[in-house]
Chain A
Amino acid sequence: MIAALMAGSPAQAQDASAAGTAAPAPAVPFVRGGFDDKPYLHGIFGRIRVGGYLEADAFVEREEGATSEAGFELLRWNLLASTEVSSRVSVWSEVEFEDGGDEVTLELAQVDVRIVPLANLRGGILLSPLGRFNLAHDAPRNELPGRPLVATELIGVALSEPGFGLFGSKEWAASRRLTYEAYAVNGFRDGVILDSPDGTRVPAGKRNFEDENASPAIVGRVAVRARAGLEIGVSAHHGAYNLFQAEGVAIDERRDLTVAVGDLEFVTGPYRFVAEAATVRVDVPPGLIGTHASRQAGGYVEASRRFGERWIAAWPGASFAAAVRLEAVDFDRDLPGDSIARMSLGVNLRPSPESVIKAAWTRGRSRDRFDNAAQEAELRLSLATYF
C-alpha cells in the first residue's frame, strides 16, 4: 500500500503549481517513508526544502466498562526542512510540537556527508536506527491511528539522539540491497529506572542531550531487501544508562541497557505486511529488583489492503484501506503479569496520497503485576496529512 502511495509519490503529488516545483523522489529511499522520503516542497526558499505533517485525533478510551478518557488532541505538528548544501553534503531536520506546543522537540537535525555508497558520514541529532518504525513513523503513512505498543512503550518512538557514525548501502542485483547504519550516540540516561512510576521504561530514559555518564552507546541497523517489496532488518542499541562515574571517580556500578529489534516489511500488490519485535535487557540495581523489570519484550504484526480506488467518483485520487494489527508487550518477562495485548481494526480513506482519514477500534487486555486483567477498548478517529 505504501508502495502504491509512493508510486504516485507524494512529492510528485504535491500541488506544484501552488507550492513550487516538485523534485523527483529518490529511486529507492534508504528507508521507505524515512526522513529522506517525504513530500517536501521545493523551490520556495531556494535550495531549502520545507514540509511537515500534522495529526489530529478524536478518541474515546474505555476500561472495564467505564470511559477513562475521551476528547480531542492535536498529537503532533511537525515541521520539516532539508537542503543540499553541496553535491556531497545535505542537512535534514524536523521539529515536533506536541500537546499544544507544551513540548517542542528537535527530533532530527543531522548532517550527511556522502563519500561512497558503502560509507558515508552522519552526525547531529539522529533518528536512532532501532527498528524500522522508528525510522518511518509519520502518521500520514500509517494505516492505523495509534502507533504500535512496542514502538511507544519499549523503544520510545520517536527515538532520536545526538550521535555520529556511518551509513551506507550495497546493491548486488536489481531490487536487492543491503543497507546499514551504525552510530555512537549519547544513549539512554537513568530515567529508565528512576523516572517512570511504572517500573523499567526505556522511553523514560530518552532525551539524553548531554551525555550524563560520558559513556557513548552504540546503535545500528542492518536491513536486507531480498526481493522487490521485501525488507528484513535487525537492529540493536547498547550502552550504559546510569551515572557510574563523576569527575573520574567511580560512584556506582556501571549498568547497561540493550534493546534488540527485528523488523519486516513486505509489500505485494495492494497488500502490505509489517512486523516488528523487540527485546530489552536492563541491568537493574539490586535495591530495585522485584519492582523494576530486567527483561521486557514485545512485538506486533500488521496487515493492510488498499481498495476502492474509484469508489468515490468525485474524488478521483482517493482510495480506501483496511488494516488489522495484533500486538503485545510484556513489561516484565519475569512476572506472569505486567503486560498488554490488543487488536486493532481500522479503515481509512485517503482523499489523496499524502492525506488520510482513519477510524479504528482497538480492543485489548492489560494485566497488572498481580496478573489481574483489565479489559480495554478504544475508538479513534484521526486526520493526518503532510503539508
Chain B
Amino acid sequence: MPGRPTLVSRNAVAPWCIAVLLLGGCDALLTQAPDPGDVMDGAVDGLTAGERAAFAIGDAEFERPFAASEGLGPIFNNVSCASCHSGDGRGRPENGLTRFSMGGLPAPELGGPQVQDRAIPGATPEVAPAGADLSRRMPPAVFGMGFVEAIPDSSILGRADPNDGDGDGISGRPNLVTAPDFIPAHEPGGGPGPRIGRFGRKAQVSSLFEQVVTAYHQDMGITSDALPIENENPLAGSGAASADRVADPELPGTTVRNVVNYVRMLAAPAPGVETTERAHGRVVFDQIGCTGCHTPVQRTGSSPVAALSYREFTPYSDFLLHDMGDALADLRPDGAADGYEWRTAPLWGLRVAREFLRGQLFLMHDGRATSVDEAVRLHGGEAAAARDAYLALPANQRAAVLDFVESR
C-alpha cells in the first residue's frame, strides 16, 4: 500500500542531524582561546571599553606587515613589529639587529647607529663599516612597558647608587637621556631636560613614543609625522633615493599613537604557580644577592592609563645600568651608558618564552645564552659576586633558583 507522501524521506534525517550538530557544535570545533596568563599579547586588567577598543586597533597595527608598495624601506630590518617580537615577546637571533658606533659616536654619515641589512629593489642594504664597534641586539619583549613607563622617577633614582655608597659592589645608575624634539612634551618621558631612560638594552630611550616612532623609522623604514624623512643608506648612490616611491609621511600620527597605547597596555604573562621548590628558589635568589639588581617589586605612579596607575608589579628589575663585566661588554656607548653597562633585564615572560621561540630560549642582549643557567654564568662586573654565590650553591639549590626564574 503506498505510504503517505513526505517532504523528506526518513533516510535523510540522520545526515541532517549530523550536519546540524556540526554546524551548531561545541566551542572546541571553532577553536578555544588560550589562557590569558599564557600569552604575551593580552591586555592589562581593568581597561575601560574605550581603552580596550584602542588596544584592539593598536594590536592590528602592531601585527601589520608592510609591503614595499606601502612604504617599506628603502632600507629596513623587518616588515612589521610582530615579525621581530614573536608573539609580542622576545625574538630569535636571526631577527636581531646590529648597532654600531665609530669611536663611541653613532656615525650617521656611515649609516649609524643601526645597520639596516635589507632593502627594497633599487636601494642598497647597509653593511657595518670596517673598524666599527658592533653590538648585536635581540628584540626584547614588549609587554609590561606601560608599567615600566609609570614607575616614578624617584623610585628608580632611589635605588641608584652610582658610587657604591653602601659598599655592596653594586653601583647602579640611571641612563639620563635627552628626549628627541618630536616627542610631545605631555608624553611620559618627553619634554626638555634630562629624562630617565627606561627602555632598550642600555635604557637609552625614555619614552614609549620614541621607541615606537624610531622602530617604524629605523627597523621598517616607515616614516611618520614624527620622523617624516626617510632613513637612507648614506653610502648608496643617488639612484637609491627613488626606490621608495610612497609619499612621506607613510604613517599617520594616529597609527603611531595607537601602537604606543597598545604597547602601553600589554600585560606581562602570569608567572607560574609557586611550588615549594620555587618558593625556596626565590628565597635563595634573594640570599645570593640577585635582587641587588633584579628588584622584585616596583610600584607605578600616575599613568595615562588608569588601570596602570598606582599598582604593584613584579618585574625583577631596578631599570638601572650596571657594569656587567668583560664577557658581555660591547664597548659601545649608548647615551650615558658605557660599553660595559646594561640595563637590568626584567625577569618576566620566561615561563612561556620557549613556546614562542620553537622551544628555545635566547637570553642576554645578543641572545647568546640559551638557558637561564648559561645567562647567570655570563654575569660579571657588578654581578660577579652574585654569580659566584650561585655557582657555589649545592646542585639542588641551583636547580631551585633556576626553576624559580624560569617560572617567571
Chain B residue nearest to A337 (CB atoms) is: B358
Asked whether, in the complex, the Cβ of B29 is within 8 Å of the Cβ of A377, the reply is yes
Question: CA of A191 to CA of B69 in the docked complex: distance in angstroms?
Answer: 8
Asked whether, in the complex, the Cβ of B9 is within 8 Å of the Cβ of A197, the reply is no
Q: Mark A319-331, 1 if CB is under 8 A from B, else 0.
A: 0101000000000
Taking a contact as CB atoms closer than 8 A, the residue among B23, B34, B123, B358 that contacts A370 in the complex is B358
Asked whether, in the complex, the Cβ of A376 is within 8 Å of the Cβ of B66, the reply is no
Number of A-B residue pairs, CB cutoff 8 Å, is 119
Asked whether, in the complex, the Cβ of B15 is within 8 Å of the Cβ of A347, the reply is yes
Asked whether, in the complex, the Cβ of B69 is within 8 Å of the Cβ of A376, the reply is no
Asked whether, in the complex, the Cβ of B67 is within 8 Å of the Cβ of A197, the reply is yes
Give A325-373 interface residues, CB cut-off 8 Å to B: 336, 345, 347, 359, 361, 363, 368-372
Give B220-245 interface residues, CB cut-off 8 Å to A: none
Asked whether, in the complex, the Cβ of A197 is within 8 Å of the Cβ of B64, the reply is yes
Contacts A193-B68, A308-B12, A372-B86 known; A288 to B31 CB distance under 8 Å? no
Asked whether, in the complex, the Cβ of B31 is within 8 Å of the Cβ of A63, the reply is yes
**A308 neighbours in B (Cβ, 8 Å):** 11-12, 15
Interface size on A, residues (CB 8 A): 47
Q: Mark B74-90, 1 if CB is under 8 A from A, else 0.
A: 01001110110011000
Asked whether, in the complex, the Cβ of B9 is within 8 Å of the Cβ of A363, the reply is no
**B94 neighbours in A (Cβ, 8 Å):** 290
**B68 neighbours in A (Cβ, 8 Å):** 193-195
B63 → chain A closest CB, angstroms: 9
Question: CA of A188 to CA of B23 in the docked complex: distance in angstroms?
Answer: 40
Asked whether, in the complex, the Cβ of A287 is within 8 Å of the Cβ of B23, the reply is no
Taking a contact as CB atoms closer than 8 A, the residue among A64, A285, A291, A322 that contacts B31 in the complex is A64
Asked whether, in the complex, the Cβ of A363 is within 8 Å of the Cβ of B29, the reply is yes
Interface size on B, residues (CB 8 A): 49
Asked whether, in the complex, the Cβ of B87 is within 8 Å of the Cβ of A287, the reply is no
Q: Mark A289-305, 1 if CB is under 8 A from B, else 0.
A: 11100000000000000
Give B149-202 interface residues, CB cut-off 8 Å to A: none
Taking a contact as CB atoms closer than 8 A, the residue among A252, A310, A369, A379 that contacts B121 in the complex is A252
Asked whether, in the complex, the Cβ of A313 is within 8 Å of the Cβ of B29, the reply is no
Asked whether, in the complex, the Cβ of A312 is within 8 Å of the Cβ of B8, the reply is yes
Taking a contact as CB atoms closer than 8 A, the residue among A190, A195, A336, A369 that contacts B83 in the complex is A369
Asked whether, in the complex, the Cβ of A64 is within 8 Å of the Cβ of B120, the reply is no
Question: CA of A359 to CA of B24 in the docked complex: distance in angstroms?
Answer: 12
Q: Check: A314 CB closer than 8 A to any chain B CB.
A: yes
Give B78-126 interface residues, CB cut-off 8 Å to A: 78-80, 82-83, 86-87, 92, 94, 118-125
Q: Check: B273 CB closer than 8 A to any chain A CB.
A: no
Asked whether, in the complex, the Cβ of B9 is within 8 Å of the Cβ of A310, the reply is yes
Question: CA of A379 to CA of B20 in the docked complex: distance in angstroms?
Answer: 12
Chain B residue nearest to A60 (CB atoms) is: B30
Instruction: Please report A residues at the B interface, Cβ cutoff 8 Å.
Output: 60, 62-66, 190-191, 193-199, 242, 252, 285-291, 308, 310-314, 320, 322, 336, 345, 347, 359, 361, 363, 368-372, 375-377, 379
User: Known contacts A63-B31, A375-B31, A379-B30; can you find 13 more A-B pairs with CB under 8 A?
Assistant: A60-B30, A64-B32, A65-B32, A65-B34, A198-B65, A199-B65, A287-B120, A291-B78, A347-B15, A361-B23, A370-B358, A371-B358, A372-B87
The list of the 4 closest CB pairs from A to B, nearest first, reads A65-B33, A287-B119, A197-B65, A311-B12
* 10 A-B contact pairs sorted by A residue (CB < 8 Å): A66-B33, A197-B79, A198-B65, A287-B118, A288-B118, A291-B83, A308-B15, A312-B12, A370-B356, A377-B29
